[in-house]
Structure 1
Amino acid sequence: MTFAGSLAVLACTRILWNDNDLAVVSGRTMDWPESTEPILTILPRGLQRDGGLVAGHSIVAENPAKWTSKYGSLATTVYGIGTADGLNEKGLAGHMLYLRKTDFGPRDASKPGIHAGLWLQYLLDNAADVKECLALMDDVQIVTVEAHGREATVHLALEDAGGDSAILEFVDGKLVVHHGAQYQVMTNDPTYDEQLALLKQQDFSHPSSEMPLPGNVNATDRFQRAAYYRALLPKPQNERETIAGILAIARNVSVPFGAPYRDFGIYNTEYRTAINLTNLRYFFELTTSPNVIWVDLKKFSLAAGSPAMALDPDNLDLSGDVSAKFQPLEKAPF
């Protein structure tokens, strides 16, 4: 099983709005050549994890990481084997995006191993903020995984309710971290340091009506366009305006559903999310559905022993607050 093809360019984007004086909010697009089978899943505290298991099979033969979830979370799962996007009860959120240049390096069995599909979930389970996430990375090694014939060459964007941000990438086998509240936009290739250098060529964070704006759907153009529109967001008056602003940018950098971009290795946007980290609300928009739905994490019991709960968002009858629509699972995923 996998998350990303070796020749793919893909088109995921993450946007963070952490300086609006009302709430810390973030958003992302998920772009993929097929359905990732997203399921919105509530995961309570106290769940036993094995970082080497994929669908009951161990892919980290020696020294897999094992832990018990310290915090409850809401995850958008991918193929049922990991977490692509999510939020925990402390206001830590994260997003898994594709990066072709990812190289996790050779396996070092002296460190507990976690397959890439559980990388984000490991952090949501164990960290209350971005700084704690970074400290946790010293203790484990991320190991590649495959799903549906594609390898999980991914990087992570993290943010917390305090407005902190970090981009985590593995390049030439080494973890590269960009840590700071100023890292607000992220796409795919090239690596993040190269993206930042490209952004400096023309400062899209200080837009004007005369500034030419790139309009393609490749990662570089989307990065610049998202930075441009993010800088134009007006101060919001309420949560509704913050989420509308984030989703407006996410839609602007989306790849239209059904557009024939596959020959370029760029895939349609499957879904978009927006997260209010301050108030623990998670918004989800499937691109083949006309409805935006949201989940209030504070409405769930996250105590150890509470059931994991799930909701399939691919349902045209769903709209608005769907917190009451979740159903308990017999067994928590992964």
Structure 2
Amino acid sequence: MCTRFLWSSEGSPGAGTVLVGRSMDWSDDTATVLAVRPRGVRRESTPNTPGDPHPFTWTSAYGSVVALMYGQAVVDGVNEAGFQVSGLYLSESDYGERDGDRPGLELYWAIQCLLDRFGTVAAAVEWLENDNVQLIEMDLGDKPGTGHIAVADPSGDSAVIEFIDGKTNIHHGPEFTVMANSPVYDEQLKLQEQYPAGGGTQPLPGGVESPDRFARAAYFSAMLPNTSDPREATAYAFSVIRNASAPFGTPDEAQRPEVSTTRWRTVTDLTQRRYFFESTTSPNVVWIELSQLDFAPGSPELVLDLVAEPDRVGNVTGEFVPVQ
């Protein structure tokens, strides 16, 4: 369920155009809409968990564009600083018994919180390490919302953040460019050593299981030619994330619960501040130019309903409407 990779188009971290490609794989239609969220908005960390012993609040320092699964849960997005966050499924996630001494953060709000508050990977990692935040699991549709998080910024910095046995486990550095689902990230990295991108000799796998998608994303992103052209770089990124997707009809969730059909894909240009969205049930790619948006405090939150109007195409920055 989902794959993510980070790539810098001129060969070294932060050089050229820095892009993140991700797929959203899920068992049913995610009814995903896009939203624009301005600076200066006060949010609560546990609005759906009344009586939580240690909630906290924050005010958004950055405006963002986000993808809302089921029109509610933020699962992907980028802010105006070019800081990008993706949430991917991980069945092994264990946020631990609720510890009232730790600040609680509902899963629905985790990605929005990071986008609101941080402009770099380093700043987000420092907060996660020092503030000892605890995620609160919430269902997404009819499935438990157990996941891990990937963050990236225009410098090419990256981090993969997991929550195992109630503890936060972070892999931080520009070398951690690829992420899929199960097993946990340390084991994914070991499995990768079998294949060409990790120095191994095993043939590149063609299946849709998580290790297979991880291996293909790592290999093909490493093989991309350098380019200084943002348009070309975006096409290259799409070619990789499409290759790591799961076609309709292939998953067998009874046997492989970490595998589902790819519902949509995004490619985020962190350098140009451009967010591309591609639904697998629509023939069109749409994109948003963050430079054309007004994120000033007091600006309305905006929404773009791609469920009701799936045939939109191209630059849709001006097609968002205020949330009612």
Structure 1 residue 59: deviation in Å? 5.0
**Partner of residue 38, structure 2:** 44
Q: 2:238 aligns with which of 220, 242, 247?
A: 247
Question: Does structure 1 retain, via aligned residues, the 8 Å contact 2:61–2:116?
Answer: yes
What residue number does 1:7 align with?
none
1:97 is the counterpart of 2:91: no
Question: Residue 25 in 1 paired to residue 19 in 2?
Answer: yes
Following TM superposition, by how much is the alpha carbon of 1:112 offset from its aligned partner in structure 2, in angstroms?
2.0
User: Match for 2:5 among 5, 15, 19?
Assistant: 15
CA distance in 2, matches of 1:280, 1:175: 29
5 Å-filtered alignment, 1:189-228, equals 189-205=182-198, 212-228=203-219
Deviations 1:224-250 (A, max 9, x none): 111111111011241111111111111
> What is the CA distance between 1:63 and its match in structure 2?
1.9
Deviation of the 1:148 alpha carbon: 2.5
Question: How much has 1:199 moved relative to structure 2?
Answer: 1.2
Deviation at 1:19, TM superposition (A): 5.3
Structure 1 match to 2:66: 75
Q: Do 2:194 and 2:202's aligned partners in 1 also have CA atoms closer than 8 Å?
A: no
How many Å apart are 1:301 and its aligned residue?
0.7
Question: Number of residues paired by the alignment?
Answer: 315
Q: CA deviation at 1:298?
A: 1.1
Matched, 1:267 2:260: yes
Amino acid at match of 1:225: R
Residues 120-159 of structure 1 correspond to what in structure 2 (within 5 A)?
A: 120-137=111-128, 138-139=130-131, 140-159=133-152
Instruction: Evaluate the alpha carbon distance shift between residue 316 and residue 150 of structure 1 in structure 2; reply closer, same or farther with a 3 A threshold.
Output: closer
Q: Secondary structure at the match of 1:262?
A: coil
Deviation string for 1:56-76 (max 9, x for gaps)?
A: xx3562221211111100000
Sequence identity (%): 41
Q: Which residue is 2:54 aligned to?
A: 63
Equivalence for 1:119: 110
Q: What secondary structure sits across from 1:163 in the alignment?
A: coil
CA contact (8 A) 1:116 1:142 kept: yes
Aligned equivalent of 2:158:
165
Give the drift of 1:211: 6.5
Contact 1:40 1:74 in 2 (8 A): yes
**Normalised by the size of structure 2, how large is the TM-score?**
0.93
Tell me the distance in 2 between the aligned counterparts of 1:293 and 1:60: 41
* Structure 2 residue aligned with 1:175: 168
Per the alignment, in what secondary structure is the counterpart of residue 102 of structure 2?
Answer: coil
Equivalence for 1:87: 78
* Structure 2 residue identity aligned to 1:230: S
Judge conservation of contact 1:82–1:121 (CA < 8 Å) in 2: no
CA distance in 1, matches of 2:169, 2:114: 17
Give 1:328 deviation, angstroms.
Answer: 1.0
Query: Per-residue CA shift, 1:91-115, capped at 9, x if unaligned?
Result: 1001000011101112121222111
| 1:327 maps onto 2:321 in alignment | yes
Matched AA of 1:49 = R
In the TM superposition, what whole-angstrom CA distance separates every residue of 1:34-65 from its partner, at most 9, and x where no partner exists? Answer: 122211100000111111123xxx35622212
**Which residue identity does 2:67 align to in structure 1?**
T
Structure 2 regions of 5+ residues with no counterpart? none
> In structure 1, what residue type is equivalent to 2:73?
G
8 A Cα contact 1:60 1:113, kept in partner: no
One-letter amino acid matched to 2:286: I
User: In structure 2, how many angstroms separate the alpha carbons of the residues matched to 1:260 and 1:307?
Assistant: 40
Corresponding letter in the other structure for 2:127: L
8 Å Cα contact 1:60-1:115 kept in structure 2:
no
Pick closer, same or farther for the CA change 1:258–1:313 going to 2, 3 Å: farther
Contact kept, 8 Å, 1:101 with 1:171, in 2: the verdict is yes
Secondary structure (helix, strand or coil) at the match of 1:97 reads strand
SS at 1:63 equivalent: coil
User: Retained in 1: the 8 A contact 2:196–2:202?
Assistant: no
Report the Cα distance in structure 1 between the residues aligned to 2:149 and 2:134, rounded to whole angstroms: 14
Tell me, what secondary structure is at the counterpart of 2:221?
Answer: helix
SS in 2 for 1:295: strand
Q: Distance in 1 between matches of 2:314 and 2:277?
A: 10
CA separation in 1, counterparts of 2:186 and 2:51? 30
